[in-house]
Structure formats: C-alpha cells, structure tokens
C-alpha cells in the first residue's frame, strides 16, 4: 500500500564522487594505489592524501557541527594561525629576541607547547560562541571579527616574521609516523573519534541538530540552546588550534600571515559537499569526511597526473557547482517529475 | 453580468494529512462587506489563500464576475482586481512609510529618477484619509503594528480593486483605529467595492458586515444575513456541534467528571504579567481536565506560556503540589513535572529533520541531563512504546517527523511530553488542523491520562471538545479569567453565554 | 511632538553619524600626532590608495543590501588585472582589452546571480566557487607576474589633477564616480529601492509585486562589474598582473560595508557609509605607516576592533529602536 521509495542516503553522492576520482586514478594513474614501506613508514599517493588532508579534516569535523546549528565559523583560519604562532613562540621560550641576537633560548616543555595554543584557541572559540549565542550576532559577522583581527594578532605574536624552529619532540606532531602511519592522520582520526564520542555518548549530537532545526522548539523542550551554541564554537576553536599545531610542526615554522589562509572556506566546502545543508538542522559527519577526501584526492590527482596545479582551482569550482546543483531542490523536483512521467508512461 | 462579484463553489483543499477545506462556498455581492468567520483551523485563511492564488485549489470553482479564475499568486490576483491585506503585515520595515505605499509604482521625474517629494506628498494625502498624521519619511519598522497595519490597508486600497480582502486587520488596532478603518470600508462600499472581512471580533462583525459566511473545521456552515442574527446565534454557529459518533466516549467522560476531591497539583496565586495577562488564580488537581474557554486572543495561550516559564511573570506566583516554585524557563518547568504541547506545531514543536524517535525522546533526555544519555536501546523502547500507545502512523521510528501527517506529528509531540512523566500536562490546541480520527484519539488519551491521575490543562477553540473532556472550565475574556464553571454547569450553552456575556451585558 | 527626524538626528542616521565621527576623530589623531598629515596630499592619497577597495566595496555593499554575499570579488580583481596583462602582452588593441577585462567580472557575476536565483543556492558557496574559478583562471593565464607595457597604463598611472600639494589621480576619480553612481542608484532609481526591499524581506517584496529574481541577478552582476573595474584600476598601480594579488580583499570590502553601517542581514545601509568605511581602513593604514614603528599587521587588529565596536553599536541600535505611535 505504501509506495514510498526509501530515499537514497545523502552520503551516496559524495561517495560516488570520491569513487569516481579513485576509479579514474586506478585506470589512468600508474602506481596511484601502490603503498610501499620505507624506513618503517608507509608511502604512496593514498598515504599522502591522508596526511595532507588531516588539518582540513580536523577543522571540517568541527565546522560540521557549527553549520548544523545553522551557524558558520570563518575565523578558524586565523585561529589556526594564532595557535601555530603561539606554539612557535613557546618553542622559542616565549620571546623573539633570538631574531636579532644569537641568544640562547630555553624552549618550553612540550606539554606547554601543545596545551597553551589549544587553550588560546578555545578561548577564541569561546569569544565567537559568546558573540553568537549571548550577544545574538549573525554567525558570519561574529566570526568575521576574529577572522580579520585574529590574523593581525598572530602576526603580532610572531613579530610579523616567519618563526622557524627546530624541536624534535614538537616536530613529531606534524611529521612523525606512528606504526608507519602519518601522525597527523592519527590525530585526525582521534579528533573524529572524540567528536563522535561527545555527540553520541552525550545528548550533544541530538541537541545540536535540534537547535539548528528549530531553535524555538528546542527552547520549548527545555534545551539550553545558548549553551549548545557556545560549546560548538569552543570545539571549533579547539579543532582549529590542533590544525595549527600540525601545520606549524610540519613546516617547522609559523608563517602567521599565510598559515591557514582560506582554509575555513575549504572546511565549509567539505561540509557542504558532504551533504550537510548550510541551513543547519542535520549533520552528516561521514559525509564531511568524504568531502575532505574528495577535495584532497582531487588535488593530489591533479598533481600526480602532471596537470599544472593551476587547474586545481578550476576543477574545484566545477565540482562544487555540480554538487550544489545536484543537491538543489529544483533538480530533485525535476528528477521527481521526470521519473513520475516515465513511470506513468510505463503504467499506461 | 452575474449578480455576485465573487463566487466560490465547492472549493476543497487538502494538505498532506489534513483536509483544510472541504466543499466550501462563498457568495459575495457587489458593494457588500462580507464577514468570513470561523475559529482557528476553520479554514478562513486557507479559503483566502485559495482565492488569492497562494495555493492552487484541489476542487471547485472560483468565479469573479461570473468568469472562472485561476490566480497563481497574490500578484496575479491583484491584476484581476483582488487585493489582499494578509494577517501578518507583508510590508518592508526597512523602508519609509511613503515608500511602502508607493514601491513598485513610484512616481518618477521627467529624467526617470524617483520623485521623492511627490511620493511623500502622495503618502501624506493617502494617510490623511485615515486621519493618520505621521512622519511618512520615517522607517515603517519604527511604528507600531497598528500603524503598519493601516499602511498595509492603505496600500491595498490605493490599488482601486474591485475586491478587497482584509484578513484579521483589526487584531492589533485600538477602538479608535478600528473606527477609522470602518469609515474607509464604508466609503469603499459606497463607491461600489466589495470587501471580505476576516475577523474573530463579534462586535465588529455586527457593526460593519452585511452578510456572514461561517466555516467550521474546513467545512461550510452557511451564509447568513447579519441583520437576522443574534450574537448567540453566531457563537453557536462558530463553535458548532459536531455529530458525535462516540456515545460511549461521552459516557466515559461523564463518569470521570464526578470525582472526589483530589490533591492540587498546580495552583497559581495572582500570577500575571503587566500588559500581557491579568492576574489569574487557577488550580489543577489530580485527575482534573481543566478547560480554558474563550475566543481567540482572550488569553488562552498566554496562560500556558506563563505556567511554562516561556514568559517571565511580574506578579504573583505559583505552587506545585502546595510548594511555592519559581518557573523561569522551560527547563525548570520540565524539572517540576510540567509539560506543554505548544499551540504552533510547526514553529514551536517539531524539529522537522529529526526522526520520530529523536523527537519523542528529546524532552526526556533534557530532563535526564547532559551526563545521562539514553541508550540506543532505551530510546527505541520508548519510541516504540509511544508509537504503539498513541497509534502513531509512521513507517518506522527512524522516519523524519516532517514526513508525517499533522495528526501524527501532534501525537509525537504529545509522546515527547508523556515520556517525561509529567504531573500536569498543558495541551494548547492539540487537535487543531488534524483529521477527525486523530482528534478523538487525542481526546480519549487525555481522558485516560487524567483517569490515571494526571492533571490536564486543556486549551481548545472547539467548544465541544472542551465540554466533552473537562470537569472544570475557566472562561477568559480580554486576557482575564472572568468565570469558572464546574461539572454539571459545563455545557455548550453555558460556556457560550459566558463567552458572549461581555458584549451583551 | 517634535520629531527627532526634524532635528536631523534620527536613530536611523546613528550608525552613519558614528562612522563619520570615528573617521574625523581618527583623522584628527593622525593630524595631531604627525606633521604633514593634514595636507591635501595625504587626503588625496587616501582616495588613491583605497580606490580598488572602495570600488569593490560598492558592488559588495549592493549585494549585502539584498542580504547576500560575494566572496569572488578579490579573485576577480586579480584575474582582471591578469587578463589586461596577458592581452596587452599579446598585442591586442587596448579598447578590446578593456572591454574583455570588464566583461569578465560582469559575466561571472551574472552567472553566479543566475545560479543563486534559479537553484535557490546559498550565495556563500556559489560565490566561493566563483572565487575558485576566477583565481584558477588567473593562474592558468600565468603563474608569474606579467608586466603591462602599453602606454595607456603608464599614462593612466601618472595622470592626475593637481590640487594644492595633492593630486586627484585617475583611480581616485574613478572611485568618486563609482561612489556617486552607487549613491544615485541606491537612492534615485527603482532598481535601488528594489534592492533594499529584497533585503528587507524577500517574501514581502515578492507579494508587493517587485521583480525579486531579476534584482538578485542584477546585484551580483553589478558586484562583478565593480570588481572587474577595480581590477582594471589595479593595473594603474602595479602595471602588471599577478595571480596572487588582492588576496583577502573580499573581507576588507565586507568590512568597509559593515563599518559603514550596512547590516549583513540586508535592507539597511548606505553607499556613502561604505566610502567612509573604506576611508577609515585607509586612515588606519596611513597612521600606521606614518608611525613607522607599528607594523602592518596592526591594521588588521585595528580594523577587527573597529568591526567589533560597530557591530555592537548596530546591535544596540537595532535592539534599542523602540516602536513609536
């Protein structure tokens, strides 16, 4: 009696896109899937994709939740730069005098190099959260403030210079391998696990979607909607902080002016490609993960195929538009109509 | 040329799960002011929207000047000579009053640029007719809703349409403003225009209209000459008396109505908020179903919001099981074993993209707190329990609630609150806009719950259900509790008298 | 009743008055701190140095008036300059170069506006892919800096009308013309009013019979045109095209609008405010460069601080605007 077809899960489209890219490489790119072991580390294009996408992955995970509350956080690129700069500064023992003199520096303990930037990032996230939830600013505007000022602050910390360093312990964060796997990717997996735990083992996941879907109804149901929004932005700051540590450690330096520039846009893109609507109310964490992988494997494919890297952006633009149009209501209406017509014609 | 300017014949309109209009007629003569009356969910707005092309009708004909019309949008209707002022003011708060009157047809100078001076002069002239003397260059949003409403009406009048539809235009106007509006309406009538006037104010209908069409529950009740009607007649037409197939049901409720004195679960002491609700003293005891009787806007929903901490009261207090309690937020209400199924299902209740299961367990989870998440198994158990108990029709508990019919959505919301095991359940229009089957199911459920010792505060604009279910009814007028009826006093006549009392006395 | 409006101090003018005050105060601070600050030269340089930002910001402001956003403008500026550079290098006639350059952004804006309207797609993502497209296209033209050899551009860069010890340069003139046109469109034409109406309430605008879809498409086209024009002007300074130019300019343009009193939610704001918002950013830059010891990144911190205070001011203004009878 009930003829309603089960709708395709929303992850199908992004997965298909990823599959297509991988299939393309399977056929046309020699050795794309080969993984070798050198010095106990895994090497290969796939491993490279996993390593490179880690910082974006970590930020996109948090962005998924932010967008699900019908918000947006465009300050994470700047928070990333601040986190990295603080870390670099701590490696140098907290001062930049070494830049002029060859003075001895006493690096801070690794614990502080890791923890202080993360705390700073969370405080910045809390500022965003406060602006959105309590002051009631539009999320875009609220986070625009830190996006603009934050980069300046990062440059202030580093004295406007690129802070290079060498620190065996800290370098492991971005460059190390654990069990042959790139450490950044392990961090990304841990962040995903943490996010999944927080949203599954507490009612947070439910609340985030409830608040994004209908704030009034959530309030009527007793949810502390402000707290939910506040916490989500703190988590976003935290994740940007981790990404900052990875990038800084990987390049053994903090380039406050350019680190993480436009990365917020990549994160948002990954979320949207992954099937989370910008209007909020429902998130798709798996989709986001696939979205990040799509963007990175696209980039890596272009690089390994010897296509000039300048085409990356063009391809990205086309892919984004295609995904957007496929997911649009007009397209689904169109498909519905034509299939209805076809089935009608078939029945007749 | 036809005798009637507008004629609707057998118009029907369904939404998924709801029959909003079924076989409704309307006959509007030339130069006539026609009242369109009905309680919430009666189908007034749907009919207006069908006439103005907001929705296409499913069945039936709409004739203008004897010619069938199929407007596809309010704009389209405007081109046909039907202009409408919708209930929510559809103007632009960010533009000036003058611009709101003129935009889309602004006067221009010879150079093609806008002639602001003329626009402002025109605006002053137009508003003068309404005896409104305001700065027309000020932003519309800076004026009261009443002024905004008048501007919207003035804009519609300027279109010089054959037919003007005013949907609840007076709900935010004071007496003086209403008089000014009526003066304009009479002027238009004299000029031969017709007006459909939607309102729930009885006095106004009798003052201004020539004829009245009454709708109830999406159905056509009848067309009446205003002069031939008494206020009492109209109230009974509005409230109606549904053919009740459920005699058994009546018996059940009768049995329950005679109860021993029970523990008082919730009691208010002069609880009120200035300019919102006059201080009220009501109490709800174990096993009570307390009805609130009164017309739209009399303060029914306001009481629910005060009790549930959604508005902050500024005087009086309330006692829960005899203990003074402060309720400043829904969370506190929840922790005090109160529950509220709000009036507006779409805006205040459902979380559209979430599943039936998630919608059901939401409030219970909040009550449990952050650190006691319900297990997946427990969630499924609870969801299944209420899906069975309330006979919620859904393919599975994983279905997004937005795909359910109105009645089933409402049941999910009731389930959300029952799951929190409340002592007092406040239901605000739980049966609005849902089909008859679901309606009686919900009524039965309320009776069953009260039989189990729950206190229920039952808000409904349909008088039979109040009569059928309640053992105590508070009568509201103008945001005041004016009367209180008990057990045997509760019948439709008594309630209608009490509600209509105001104007007649 | 004496209406506040009659005193010329309506609440609605509050944001722009605040913006003007801040501009004057900043300018005075500069004047009192540094010698040679209060000269024609510094003032006209302010216009010249911020012409690209100002022209871009006018288009952006119109988009924000409708409640939208255009993230593509910075890359359009850079790629337009690149188009000019590459085409002049190929020896294409200058008039044709100019037409192509201006058409690039205008057409991109048109396409983006169409997609946003037709597919009801979020402007944020559509213009973001517009950004990728324009930037990518620029990279394809050339990854290196391409010099512009034509005389026209050399002359354009040195052209100017002397006023005292200052010089009203070509970029400054174009900026002022664009601002004047913007003010004209926003205040004197039906299009301008429809743009405000759209941002005020799209649903209402539709019910009032205004051409909502058309207006939306026009606004993004206008923004694309402004960005292209700004890119063209950009070549007068650099006399070259470079793919990485003007990074982050879109956010500066948004900041200009917001500081100038435009509400991101749409419906409120002025083009004149955007000019002042641009000049405030310019004064901050000038003060910091006069100061000598403060580094360039202080600009961002100051601009961020400005944004915060203006947004909070607007917040108070919106929340505090009581209803009157």
Contact map slice: B 134-173 vs C, CB within 8 A:
135, 137-139, 141-147
Q: CB contact, 8 Å: A8 with chain C?
A: no
Tokens of B465: 């259900």
Q: What is the DSSP letter of C86?
A: H
Which of C188, C205, C265 is most worth mutating to test chain B (most B CB atoms within 10 A of its CB)? C188
C171 close to C156: Cβ distance less than 8 angstroms: no
Q: What is the sign, positive or negative, of the torsion defined by CA atoms of B455, B461, B466, B469?
A: negative
Residues in A touching B368 (Cβ below 8 Å): 203
Which of C130, C311, C316 is most worth mutating to test chain A (most A CB atoms within 10 A of its CB)? C311
Nearest-by-CA chain A residue for C315 = A137
Higher pLDDT, C53 or B66: C53
Residues in B touching C3 (Cβ below 8 Å): 135, 138
Residues in C touching B92 (Cβ below 8 Å): 196-197, 200-201, 204-205, 208, 267
From CA A233, how far away is CA A146, in angstroms rounded?
12
Q: What is the pLDDT of residue C318?
A: 57
Mean pLDDT of all residues in A161-189: 86
Q: What is the pLDDT of residue B434?
A: 67
Average pLDDT, chain C: 87
Q: CB contact, 8 Å: C5 with chain B?
A: yes
From CA B196, how far away is CA B94, in angstroms rounded?
29
Mean pLDDT of all residues in C282-294: 83
Q: What is the pLDDT of residue A247?
A: 93
- pLDDT tens per residue, range C244-261: 888 889 999 999 998 898
- Burial classification of residue A342, based on how many CB atoms lie within 10 Å of its CB (0-12 exposed, 13-18 middle, 19 or more buried): exposed
Model confidence band, residue C323 (pLDDT cutoffs 50, 70, 90): very low
- For residue C3, is pLDDT > 50? no
Contact map slice: A 172-231 vs B, CB within 8 A:
200-204, 206, 209-210, 213-214, 216-224
Contact C3 B147 (CB under 8 A): no
Residues in C touching A329 (Cβ below 8 Å): 119-120
Contact A203 B370 (CB under 8 A): yes
User: Which of A10-19, B214-223, C113-122 bottoms out in mean pLDDT, i.e. has the lowest?
Assistant: A10-19
Q: CB contact, 8 Å: B348 with chain A?
A: yes
Which of C208, C269, C319 is most worth mutating to test chain B (most B CB atoms within 10 A of its CB)? C208
- pLDDT tens per residue, range C82-105: 999 999 988 889 899 999 999 999
Nearest-by-CA chain B residue for C202 = B92
Q: What is the pLDDT of residue C324?
A: 36
Query: For chain A, what is the radius of gyration of the CA atoms?
Result: 22
Nearest-by-CA chain A residue for B350 = A217
Q: What is the pLDDT of residue B251?
A: 52
Nearest-by-CA chain C residue for B92 = C200
Contact A150 C304 (CB under 8 A): yes
Of C3, C184, C200, the CB nearest to B92: C200
Q: What is the DSSP letter of B162?
A: S
From CA C53, how far away is CA C249, in angstroms rounded?
7
Contact B348 A281 (CB under 8 A): no
Q: What is the pLDDT of residue A48?
A: 86
A80 close to A244: Cβ distance less than 8 angstroms: yes
So what's the ipTM on this one? Answer: 0.83
Centroid of chain to Cα C70: 11
Q: CB contact, 8 Å: A69 with chain B?
A: no
Contact B139 C5 (CB under 8 A): no
Residue C113, number of CB atoms within 10 A of its CB: 29
Q: What is the pLDDT of residue B254?
A: 53
User: Which of A131-140, A231-240, A309-318, B57-66 bottoms out in mean pLDDT, i.e. has the lowest?
Assistant: A309-318
Of A152, A317, A321, the CB nearest to C304: A152
Contact A210 B354 (CB under 8 A): yes
Higher pLDDT, B88 or A202: A202
Model confidence band, residue A90 (pLDDT cutoffs 50, 70, 90): confident
Q: Determine the distance in angstroms separating the CA of B333 from the nearest CA of chain C, rounded to an integer.
A: 28
Q: What is the pLDDT of residue C287?
A: 87
- For residue A306, is pLDDT > 70? yes
**CB burial readout B380-401, b (16+ within 10 A) else e:** eebbeebbeebebebeebebbb
Q: CB contact, 8 Å: A146 with chain C?
A: yes
Query: For chain B, what is the radius of gyration of the CA atoms?
Result: 25
The share of chain C scoring above pLDDT 70, in percent, equals 94
Mean pLDDT of all residues in A130-156: 90
Q: What is the pLDDT of residue B96?
A: 92
- Burial classification of residue A112, based on how many CB atoms lie within 10 Å of its CB (0-12 exposed, 13-18 middle, 19 or more buried): middle
Which of A66, A313, A316, A326 is most worth mutating to test chain C (most C CB atoms within 10 A of its CB)? A313
- For residue A102, is pLDDT > 60? no
Q: What angle do CA C84, C90, C95 make, to 5 degrees?
A: 50
Q: What is the sign, positive or negative, of the torsion defined by CA atoms of B147, B152, B157, B159?
A: positive
Average pLDDT per run of 10 along chain B, which is 505 residues long?
Answer: 81 76 90 85 83 87 89 84 81 91 88 90 88 87 81 84 84 75 87 87 86 88 89 74 48 54 84 86 89 81 90 86 88 92 86 92 91 89 91 86 82 92 90 70 86 90 82 86 83 79 51
Q: Determine the distance in angstroms separating the CA of C199 from the nearest CA of chain A, rounded to an integer.
A: 15
Contact map slice: B 356-375 vs A, CB within 8 A:
358, 361-363, 365-368, 370-371, 373-374
Tokens of B322: 């005899």
Model confidence band, residue A132 (pLDDT cutoffs 50, 70, 90): very high
Contact map slice: A 279-308 vs B, CB within 8 A:
281-282
Q: CB contact, 8 Å: B340 with chain A?
A: yes
- Listed ranges A207-211, A248-252, B149-153, C91-95; the one with the highest mean pLDDT: A207-211
Closest among C315, C277, C309 to C23, alpha carbons compared: C277
- Listed ranges A228-232, A283-287, B456-460; the one with the highest mean pLDDT: A228-232
Q: Determine the distance in angstroms separating the CA of C142 from the nearest CA of chain A, rounded to an integer.
A: 9
Higher pLDDT, A100 or B418: B418
Q: Which residues, listed in sequence order, are joined to residue B84 by a DSSP beta bridge?
A: B165
Q: Determine the distance in angstroms separating the CA of B358 from the nearest CA of chain A, rounded to an integer.
A: 7
Of C120, C140, C299, the CB nearest to A311: C140
Residues in B touching C206 (Cβ below 8 Å): 75
Phi and psi (nearest 5°) for B419?
Answer: -60, -25
- For residue C12, is pLDDT > 50? yes
Whole-number Cα distances in Å, B49 to B46, B310, B342: 5, 31, 25
Residues in C touching B112 (Cβ below 8 Å): 189
Residues in C touching B137 (Cβ below 8 Å): 5
Residues in B touching A281 (Cβ below 8 Å): 351-354
Of B348, B362, B371, the CB nearest to A210: B362
Of A136, A152, A257, the CB nearest to C301: A152
- For residue C15, is pLDDT > 80? no
pTM for the model:
0.83
Closest among C302, C300, C215, C310 to C21, alpha carbons compared: C310
Q: What is the pLDDT of residue B241?
A: 52
């Amino acid at each position: 009696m009930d003829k309603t077809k089960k709708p395709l899960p929303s992850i199908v489209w992004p997965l298909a896109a990823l599959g297509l890219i991988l299939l393309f490489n399977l056929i046309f790119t020699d050795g794309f899937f080969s993984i070798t072991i050198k010095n106990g580390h895994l090497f290969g294009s796939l491993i490279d994709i996993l390593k490179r996408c880690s910082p974006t992955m970590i930020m996109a995970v948090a962005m998924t939740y932010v967008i699900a509350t019908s918000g947006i956080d465009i300050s994470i690129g700047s928070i990333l730069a601040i986190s990295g700069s603080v870390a670099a500064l701590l490696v140098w023992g907290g001062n930049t005098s070494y830049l002029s003199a060859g003075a001895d520096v006493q690096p801070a303990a690794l614990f502080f190099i890791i923890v202080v930037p993360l705390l700073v990032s969370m405080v910045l996230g809390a500022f965003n959260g406060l602006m959105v939830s309590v002051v009631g600013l539009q999320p875009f505007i609220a986070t625009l403030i830190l996006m603009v000022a934050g980069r300046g602050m990062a440059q202030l910390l580093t004295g406007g210079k690129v802070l290079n360093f060498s620190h065996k312990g800290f370098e492991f964060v971005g460059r190390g391998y654990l069990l042959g796997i790139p450490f950044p990717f392990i961090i990304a997996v841990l962040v995903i696990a943490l996010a999944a735990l927080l949203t599954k083992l507490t009612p947070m996941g439910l609340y985030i979607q409830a608040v994004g879907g209908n704030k009034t109804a959530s309030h009527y149901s007793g949810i502390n909607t402000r707290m939910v929004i506040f916490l989500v932005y703190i988590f976003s700051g935290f994740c940007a902080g981790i990404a900052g540590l990875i990038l800084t450690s990987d390049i053994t330096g903090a380039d406050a002016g350019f680190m993480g520039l436009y990365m917020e846009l990549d994160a948002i893109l990954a979320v949207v490609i992954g099937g989370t609507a910008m209007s909020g109310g429902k998130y798709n964490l798996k989709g986001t993960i696939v979205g990040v992988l799509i963007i990175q494997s696209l980039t890596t494919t272009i690089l390994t195929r010897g296509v000039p890297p300048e085409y990356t952006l063009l391809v990205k633009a086309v892919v984004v538009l295609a995904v957007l149009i496929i997911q649009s209501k007009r397209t689904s209406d169109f498909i519905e109509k034509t299939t209805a017509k076809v089935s009608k014609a078939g029945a007749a | 040329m036809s005798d009637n300017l507008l004629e609707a014949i057998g118009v029907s309109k369904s939404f998924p799960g709801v029959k909003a209009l079924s076989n409704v007629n309307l006959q509007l003569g030339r130069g006539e002011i026609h009242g369109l009356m009905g309680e919430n969910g009666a189908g007034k707005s749907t009919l207006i929207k069908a006439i103005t092309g907001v929705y296409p009708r499913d069945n039936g004909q709409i004739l203008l000047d004897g010619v069938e019309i199929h407007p596809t949008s309010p704009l389209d209707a405007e081109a046909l000579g039907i202009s409408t002022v919708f209930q929510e003011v559809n103007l632009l708060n960010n533009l000036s009053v003058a611009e709101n009157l003129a935009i889309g047809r602004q006067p221009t100078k010879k150079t093609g640029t806008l002639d602001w001076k003329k626009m402002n002069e025109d605006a002053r002239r137009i508003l003068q007719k309404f005896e409104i003397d305001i700065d027309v260059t000020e932003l519309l949003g800076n004026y009261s809703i009443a002024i905004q409403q008048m501007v919207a009406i003035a804009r519609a009048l300027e279109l010089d349409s054959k037919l003007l539809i005013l949907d609840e235009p007076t709900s935010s106007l004071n007496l003086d403003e209403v008089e000014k509006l009526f003066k304009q309406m009479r002027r238009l009538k004299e000029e031969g225009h017709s007006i459909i006037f939607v309102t729930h104010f009885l006095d106004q209908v009798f003052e201004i209209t020539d004829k009245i069409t009454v709708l109830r529950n999406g159905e056509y009740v009848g067309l009446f000459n205003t002069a031939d009607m008494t206020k009492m007649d109209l109230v009974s037409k509005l409230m109606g008396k549904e053919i009740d197939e459920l005699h058994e049901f009546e018996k059940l409720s009768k049995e329950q109505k005679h109860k021993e004195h029970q523990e008082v679960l919730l009691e208010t002491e002069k609880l009120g908020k200035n300019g919102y609700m006059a201080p009220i003293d009501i109490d709800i005891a174990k096993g009570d179903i307390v009805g609130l009787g009164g017309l739209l806007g009399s303060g029914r929903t306001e009481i629910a919001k005060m009790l549930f901490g959604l508005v902050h009261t500024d005087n009086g207090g309330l006692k829960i099981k005899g203990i003074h309690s402060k309720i400043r937020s829904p969370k506190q209400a929840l922790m005090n074993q109160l529950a509220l199924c709000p009036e507006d299902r779409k805006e205040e209740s459902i979380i559209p993209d979430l599943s039936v299961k998630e919608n059901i367990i939401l409030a219970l989870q909040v009550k449990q707190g952050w650190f006691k998440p319900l297990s997946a198994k427990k969630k499924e158990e609870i969801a299944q329990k209420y899906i069975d108990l309330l006979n919620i029709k859904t393919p599975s508990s994983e279905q997004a609630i937005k795909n359910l019919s109105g009645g089933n959505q409402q049941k999910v919301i009731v389930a959300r609150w029952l799951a929190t095991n409340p002592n007092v359940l406040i239901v605000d229009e739980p049966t609005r806009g849902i089909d008859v089957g679901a309606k009686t199911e919900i009524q039965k459920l309320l009776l069953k719950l009260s039989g189990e010792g729950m206190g229920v505060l039952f808000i409904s604009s349909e008088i039979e259900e109040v009569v059928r279910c309640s053992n105590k009814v508070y009568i509201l007028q103008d945001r005041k509790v004016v009367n209180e009826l008990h057990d045997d006093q509760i019948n439709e006549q008594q309630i209608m008298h009490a509600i209509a009392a105001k104007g007649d006395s | 009743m004496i209406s506040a409006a009659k005193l010329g101090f309506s609440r609605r003018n509050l944001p722009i008055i605040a913006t003007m005050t801040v501009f004057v105060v900043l300018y005075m601070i500069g004047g009192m701190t540094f010698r040679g600050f209060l000269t024609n030269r510094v003032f006209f340089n302010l216009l010249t140095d911020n012409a690209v930002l100002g022209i871009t910001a006018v288009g952006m402001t119109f988009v924000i008036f409708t409640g939208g956003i255009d993230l593509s403008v910075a890359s359009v500026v850079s790629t337009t300059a690149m188009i000019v550079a590459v085409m002049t290098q190929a020896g294409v006639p200058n008039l044709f170069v100019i037409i192509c350059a201006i058409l690039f952004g205008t057409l991109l804006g048109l396409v983006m506006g169409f997609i946003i309207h037709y597919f009801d797609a979020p402007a944020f993502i559509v213009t973001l892919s517009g950004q990728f497209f324009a930037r990518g296209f620029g990279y394809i033209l050339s990854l290196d800096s391409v010099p512009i050899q034509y005389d026209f551009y050399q002359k354009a860069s040195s052209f100017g009308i002397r006023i005292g010890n200052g010089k009203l340069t070509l970029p400054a003139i174009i900026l002022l013309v664009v601002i004047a046109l913007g003010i004209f469109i926003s205040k004197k034409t039906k299009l301008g009013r429809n743009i405000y109406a759209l941002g005020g309430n799209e649903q209402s605008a539709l019910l009032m019979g205004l051409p909502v879809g058309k207006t939306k498409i026009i606004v993004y086209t206008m923004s694309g045109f402004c960005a292209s024009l700004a890119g063209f002007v950009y070549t007068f300074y650099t006399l070259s095209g470079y793919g990485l130019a003007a990074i982050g300019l879109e956010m500066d343009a948004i900041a200009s609008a917001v500081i100038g009193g435009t509400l991101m939610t749409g419906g409120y704001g002025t083009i004149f405010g955007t000019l002042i918002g641009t000049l405030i950013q310019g004064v901050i830059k000038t003060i910091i460069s006069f100061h000598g010891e403060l580094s360039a990144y202080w600009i961002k911190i100051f601009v961020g601080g400005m944004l915060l205070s203006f947004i909070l001011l607007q917040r108070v203004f919106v929340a505090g605007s009581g209803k009157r009878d």
